[in-house]
Structure 1
């Protein structure tokens, strides 16, 4: 079955989630903690994902902006950085996350090839709108889908089912692209042609699905899309 569209996870796949802490650490007044920005960014992201999974399993949904704030508060306490001004600055910067350098060109090439393009993300609509606008990629996207439409986070199958409901496609007609190994695995189990963008060189997750392809970043995706179109991948 031919691929008709590519659907992208947002955070970590299209948008650099470490950028908020990195940019804040480079600003005046951050000298006391600047050498710890990577630890802060990593713990914030890890806790953000953990809270989303726990809320999904517990049936205790809150939007991703609340989850993001809760994860940051935990991280700042762990790092002994309970500074209200720093907290607000990090949250403000999270609404301005840049896209990875290759993203605009890759999306443009896929769009020129006639593929529909969409985001499917845990992010709240306001978060996603801000990130897409900040990155300047809105004209390249046919849809930005937030889990708020179904009220549960990934990897619940109801989230992946949003794609077919929006585009009228079968799972096998969708190339699903995520930098989160667990997300790529769950999408594969759902039936998507899943592609894991393994930016960190991590081992494959041992889960109930396995991505069809693995890339180190998005640069090779247009070539891979051509192979998938022609049944070579």
Structure 2
């Protein structure tokens, strides 16, 4: 039976730091640091809201994280710049290996799903803008449960939505927290280590497979 592959979207298929050039026009040489802080705060807000059961859509976490980052760096943005950034975030670029890697996996018979903290509409917009939307069987969003990864409930929700079992399902993510969440839920998981400097959390668990590029994935998870 062909394995089911659940692809994280933000940071795995889609480059969450794809707005650094745009940020450089706004905040200057601190653009890369600004982008990293924005992403870290976005995820922190999602984690905290899941724990508190105080849900808002991921786009709200993104906007509030942007506001915090502006305050942190002392770089207030005009309403026009803020709106432009958040609008650009809806069509962030894909990583260079995404289209080829996904096409290869689909041709090999794997069942591909997008699995994201973003709402289904937001994820569809991202994937279509990146030219890879048509490669997935469906989009499964944690928004359906009004929660976020790595809550155990969202991994169970994915299995129900995809009609899959944990034993036959792989999470594919560049985010260690997501990989650990899937492993804890009884899945297998591939960590996409997108840079040599990337670190995996020392929690006493390891990814089932580690790849540097999505084009390596089919060989890494072949039975």
TM-score with structure 2 length normalisation? 0.93
1:146 aligns with 2:146: no
Give the match's secondary structure for 1:196. Answer: strand
- Please report the TM-score for the alignment, with normalisation by the length of structure 1: 0.89
Contact map agreement 1:186 1:209 (CA 8 A) in 2: no
Task: Select 1:89's aligned residue among 73, 76, 84.
Answer: 84
1:187 and 2:195 correspond = no
How big is the shift at 1:105?
0.7
State the partner residue of 1:207: 203
Conserved? CA contact 1:160–1:190, under 8 Å? yes
Q: CA–CA distance in 2 between the matches of 1:149 and 1:57?
A: 16
Superposed CA RMSD:
1.6
| Residue 112 of structure 1, CA deviation | 0.7
Residues 41-52 of structure 1: matches in 2 within 5 Å?
A: 41-52=35-46
Whole-Å separation in 1 of the counterparts to 2:74 and 2:200: 33
Counterpart contact for 1:186–1:208, Cα < 8 Å? no
Structure 2 Cα separation of the partners of residues 122 and 49 of structure 1: 10
1:169 to 164, 168, 179: 164
Q: CA deviation at 1:191?
A: 1.2
CA deviations 1:86-132 (Å, max 9, x no partner) are 21121111011111011111111111111110011111223212101
* Bigger Cα displacement from structure 2, 81-90 vs 178-187: 81-90
How many residues are matched?
221
Q: Which runs of 4+ in 1 moved over 4 A?
A: none
